[in-house]
């Protein structure tokens, strides 16, 4: 599921990012625990270096009997605990302990406090974690600013807007934390073993271990004249580029994408766009206050409003040179399959 990081009033949005962070930061991820090899982790195993690193960093432990159980299925309790430990080390907080009943409860409590989890999200922490579950938890263990984009991933064949934690999956792919399967798919509904979790957790905590992957794109996408983004237009929709503005419409729904040279921070650009709407319309009926969000794995500021019977969802995203404002509009009761498909295909250049 997607979680809004911090809903903020528009007036407070620009101020919020000026507050210095008190987090200990990525430099806190350094070896602090002596590693004793596990009898079930061969030196030649592909995952052996990752197992050693996550143990030394204090992010994973062995299991009873002195084994690591690399082929064992990761549980939700384990995934939450790993995410909570990662967050605590980054923030400089005490790492949640497991000397409680159930053993994962301290980690669950901390994850709830930090927004890694939402209350009631999971009912059984002893159940296997899916790959989507793991991505949804790990993505919120660090601020999005620590997950620098190094890959351009346009299309994961088995991940779309209906996939649990779709934005988090794309965020981690773009950051080089996830690399997927040999078939080019993520397999979000599959379970994950502890060895694979160790590799992913290592790449989360140690940026130098993150992986670059081959850029992908949708086969039928169109590219903006300036090469800033690609998007797939639904069949039967009318679309056009006019200068720096792209529009596509069909079935009473409309998408407008506007680009501009990046001269402001992300939050300033969002406020500027909202101020422009207020001036042009004499006021805006906001249905969702501006807040930090994820859009296709990209850090974004989003808000919602209603105008002339249409509901609008606005996302402001950026790359190193350009700011993009994406405005999705639809009438009440509309079938949003095509609109969500277009949204799912948006691919911003590096």
Distances (CA, A) of 82 to 75, 169, 210: 11, 17, 18
* pLDDT of amino acid 7: 34
Q: pLDDT tens digits, residue range 100-151?
A: 999 999 999 999 999 999 988 999 999 999 999 999 999 999 998 899 999 9
- What percentage of the chain reaches a pLDDT higher than 70? 91
Residue ranges per domain, the chain? 31-209, 222-348
Decide: residue 39, CB within 10 A, 0-12 exposed, 13-18 middle, 19+ buried. Answer: exposed
Check residue 218 and give its pLDDT: 67
DSSP 250-306: ETTEEEEEEEEE--S-HHHHHHHHHHHHHHHHTS-EEEEEEEEEEETTEEEEEEEEE
The whole-number average pLDDT for the span 82-107 is: 96
pTM (2 decimals)?
Answer: 0.84
Per-residue confidence band for 344, with pLDDT thresholds at 50, 70 and 90: confident
pLDDT tens-digit map of 167-197: 899 999 999 999 876 666 899 999 999 999 9
- Topology of domain 222-348 in CATH is Protein Transport Mog1p; Chain A (3.40.1000)
Cis peptide leading into residue 201 (ω within 30°)? no
| Percent of the chain at pLDDT exceeding 90 | 75
Q: What is the pLDDT of residues 211-268, one digit of tens each?
A: 998 766 666 788 999 999 999 999 999 999 999 999 999 999 999 999 999 999 999 9
Query: Which residues, in sequence order, are bridge partners of residue 318?
Result: 323
- Mean per-residue pLDDT over the chain, rounded: 89
């Amino acid at each position: 599921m997607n979680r809004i990081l911090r809903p903020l009033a528009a007036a407070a949005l620009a101020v919020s990012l000026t507050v210095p962070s008190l987090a200990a930061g990525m430099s806190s991820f350094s070896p602090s625990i002596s590693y004793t090899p596990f009898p079930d982790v061969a030196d030649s195993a592909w995952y052996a270096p990752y197992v050693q690193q996550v143990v030394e960093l204090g992010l994973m432990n062995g299991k009873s009997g002195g084994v690591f159980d690399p082929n064992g299925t990761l549980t939700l309790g384990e995934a939450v605990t790993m995410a909570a430990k990662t967050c605590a080390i980054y923030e400089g907080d005490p790492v949640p302990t497991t000397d409680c009943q159930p053993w994962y409860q301290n980690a669950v409590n901390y994850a709830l406090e930090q927004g890694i989890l939402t209350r009631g999200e999971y009912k059984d922490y002893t159940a296997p974690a899916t790959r989507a579950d793991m991505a949804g938890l790990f993505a919120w263990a660090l601020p999005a600013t620590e997950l620098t984009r190094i890959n351009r991933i346009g299309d994961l064949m088995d991940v779309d807007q209906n996939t649990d934690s779709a934005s988090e999956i794309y965020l981690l792919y773009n950051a080089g934390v996830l690399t997927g399967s040999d078939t080019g798919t993520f397999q979000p509904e599959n379970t994950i073993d502890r060895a694979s979790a160790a590799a992913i957790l290592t790449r989360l905590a140690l940026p130098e271990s993150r992986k670059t992957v081959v850029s992908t794109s949708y086969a039928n996408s169109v590219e903006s004249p300036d090469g800033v983004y690609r998007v797939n237009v639904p069949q039967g929709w009318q679309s056009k580029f006019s200068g720096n503005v792209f529009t596509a419409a069909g079935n009473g729904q409309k998408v407008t994408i506007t680009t501009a040279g990046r001269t402001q921070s992300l939050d300033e650009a969002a406020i500027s766009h909202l101020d422009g709407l207020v001036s042009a319309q004499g006021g805006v009926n906001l249905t969702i206050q501006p807040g930090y969000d994820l859009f296709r794995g990209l850090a974004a500021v989003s808000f919602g409003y209603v105008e002339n019977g249409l509901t609008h969802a606005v996302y402001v995203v950026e790359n190193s040179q350009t700011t993009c404002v994406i405005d999705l509009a639809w009438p009440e009761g509309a079938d949003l399959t095509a609109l969500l498909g277009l949204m799912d295909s948006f691919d911003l250049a590096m």
